[in-house]
Chains A and B, each alone.
Chain A
């Protein structure tokens, strides 16, 4: 399972970075989204996957019993997903507005503020 997820994460990072290197604004935002997903999956994978064991204290116990999934990475990923969702929504609106104002999808033509 870890190996499969590692491959998926690598693929997501590669695809995300590749898309961001293209000149199109739409591909830029898709690349950013993929990077976000890759980071979320990475958190999940590096903090040890546990299958079918929920982090719930059994009724006759006072603490968690040994094979349990760590709840912290799940909380982290959940927070990161929510934040990522908000930021990506903003980025999409920004790019749409930029497309309306500048009238192109080509990032190479958005260089008037550089240098």
Chain B
């Protein structure tokens, strides 16, 4: 048993249990929630540094040998994702100390948040495809309840679409797992990677690949399957939107990267060109949807879709450089998108609305907030020297190296349109004179507890931009591990056979 590997699962579980026990004591709950999230971030950083130094970590739960028991694996990609989950968890917990109302807290908001974090970390760390399904469900059930917590009309309407599409995707995923087991006879991902090469009919492997592509694609909100996201992500309170925007779709992207670098690399010419086409269409449709919107959180929701395209693009190109770009983009995007949602929450507190037409004059009212908005917004659009520039730079260079000029042109054009919608928010909400002069609808000032998480994430964005080298080296090494599945299978199953 490797303690570092199990801690990211045990800490949220222990925190959630402690929160259940202190259900009626609100102060204790808030305290425990912050402590739990900090501990999660700390342990995940420990895991990352240990994986960095000693290579892939493997732990067999219950000491059953590899293809039979339940395996936990952390390579650099998993460990990085767990760190990001811990970071977003801590930031959102601190932010929601002020922004979540007492009623939602008394209905178990913090408890659900930690269950969600446990599901997310479990999905990143599991080495078994059926366990991936189980962790997905843990995460989904917590997210369903978080989304409907409070029971407002818009939330319920959004939740119906969110729940239906995610249940469809789970049913597909389950069916795909069943067929996979029927064909290969194992569920351990490392073992699958070895056995799939021996499957007699290559058509079956490709069919399975497309089934997985669809079911993870729904969760990651890629091109034809993304409509549930903009219909639902803007309905719950902003702290919940922020953690969904930062983490949940990225779990889908992570699963896609894992499955399409480890398992389905037999028919790369077909599957990965499908992924590349989907990536391009996802970018374009997402950004066009965002351009048409007039409400801050809806613009941001559509931008999640468009940015998913960039991450999938690296996977479709399937070179070490491209995958490094995808990993870099994941790191950058989780930080930036969470931050933008958190800022939209402060804007809402200052003006009482998310509609661009009614916002205005925020630059005068809150210059610090304006600066804090400008950093992630320009990073999202890819302006140097912020983190988004480097992420896009690596992807574009990888695209040029593999001579996929269409996707590179799409990526660059979509960047411009992203800049357009970010300037739209900037001009309408911050620059233009205040619409209802003098009478602020919601006069609650932005407190330090709200600005602290935003400032921390903005600082990280600048830091990644200025000191891109270590982050790039991390992404590069993670990509090398992904490109070389033998490392993964050897770590899990050993060298024999």
Decide if A and B are genuine partners: yes
Residues in A lying within 8 Å of B, measured CB to CB: 20, 25, 28, 32, 35-36, 38-40, 42-44, 46-48, 72-73, 76, 79-80, 83, 86-87, 90-91, 94-95, 97-98, 101-102, 107, 110-114
Choice from B137, B183, B232 contacting A87 with Cβ under 8 Å: B137
- B141 contacts A76, CB within 8 Å? no
In Å, the complex CA distance between A79 and B135 comes to 12
Chain A nearest CB from B148 CB (Å) reads: 6
- Which of B52-60, B171-179, B474-482 lies at the interface? B171-179
Choice from B134, B157, B182, B235 contacting A98 with Cβ under 8 Å: B157
In Å, the complex CA distance between A113 and B236 comes to 11
Is B144 part of the contact surface with A, judged by Cβ < 8 Å? yes
Choice from A46, A94, A101 contacting B163 with Cβ under 8 Å: A94
Note all chain A residues with C-beta closer than 8 A to B316.
none
Residues in B lying within 8 Å of A, measured CB to CB: 130, 133-134, 137, 140-141, 144-145, 148, 151-154, 156-161, 163-164, 167-168, 170-172, 174-175, 177-179, 181-183, 187, 227, 230-232, 234-235
Chain B nearest CB from A12 CB (Å) reads: 11
Closest chain A residue to B138, Cβ basis: A83
- A113 contacts B182, CB within 8 Å? no
- B179 contacts A46, CB within 8 Å? yes
- A76 contacts B167, CB within 8 Å? no
- A97 contacts B167, CB within 8 Å? no
- A32 contacts B164, CB within 8 Å? yes
Choice from A25, A43, A79, A87 contacting B134 with Cβ under 8 Å: A79
Note all chain A residues with C-beta closer than 8 A to B157.
98, 102, 110-113
In Å, the complex CA distance between A112 and B134 comes to 33
- A101 contacts B174, CB within 8 Å? no
Closest chain A residue to B293, Cβ basis: A115
- B179 contacts A72, CB within 8 Å? no
Choice from A35, A86, A112, A113 contacting B171 with Cβ under 8 Å: A35
Note all chain B residues with C-beta closer than 8 A to A111.
157
Choice from A76, A90, A95, A112 contacting B178 with Cβ under 8 Å: A76
Note all chain B residues with C-beta closer than 8 A to A35.
167-168, 171
- A20 contacts B164, CB within 8 Å? yes
| Interface of A: prevailing SS | helix
- A90 contacts B144, CB within 8 Å? yes
Chain B nearest CB from A54 CB (Å) reads: 19
Closest chain B residue to A83, Cβ basis: B137
Note all chain B residues with C-beta closer than 8 A to A40.
174
Choice from A28, A44, A48, A112 contacting B164 with Cβ under 8 Å: A28
Which residue among A20, A101, A107 has the maximum number of chain B CB atoms within 10 Å of its CB? A101
Choice from B134, B153, B164 contacting A83 with Cβ under 8 Å: B134
Chain A nearest CB from B221 CB (Å) reads: 15
- B234 contacts A87, CB within 8 Å? no
- A87 contacts B167, CB within 8 Å? yes
User: What are 6 A-to-B residue pairs whose CB atoms are below 8 Å?
Assistant: A38-B175, A46-B178, A80-B133, A87-B144, A102-B153, A113-B161
In Å, the complex CA distance between A3 and B162 comes to 35
- B167 contacts A91, CB within 8 Å? yes
Note all chain A residues with C-beta closer than 8 A to B235.
113
Instruction: Give the top 10 A-B pairs by smallest Cβ distance, nearest first.
Output: A43-B178, A46-B182, A98-B156, A39-B174, A39-B175, A35-B171, A47-B182, A110-B157, A39-B171, A113-B158
Chain A nearest CB from B489 CB (Å) reads: 20
Note all chain A residues with C-beta closer than 8 A to B140.
87
- A95 contacts B160, CB within 8 Å? yes
- B231 contacts A72, CB within 8 Å? no
In Å, the complex CA distance between A43 and B179 comes to 7
Note all chain A residues with C-beta closer than 8 A to B161.
113
Closest chain A residue to B163, Cβ basis: A91
Chain B nearest CB from A99 CB (Å) reads: 9
- A72 contacts B181, CB within 8 Å? yes
- Given known contacts A28-B164, A90-B144, A102 and B177 CB-to-CB distance under 8 angstroms: no
- A113 contacts B178, CB within 8 Å? no
Note all chain B residues with C-beta closer than 8 A to A79.
130, 134
Choice from A38, A72, A102, A112 contacting B187 with Cβ under 8 Å: A72
- A47 contacts B181, CB within 8 Å? yes
- B182 contacts A48, CB within 8 Å? yes
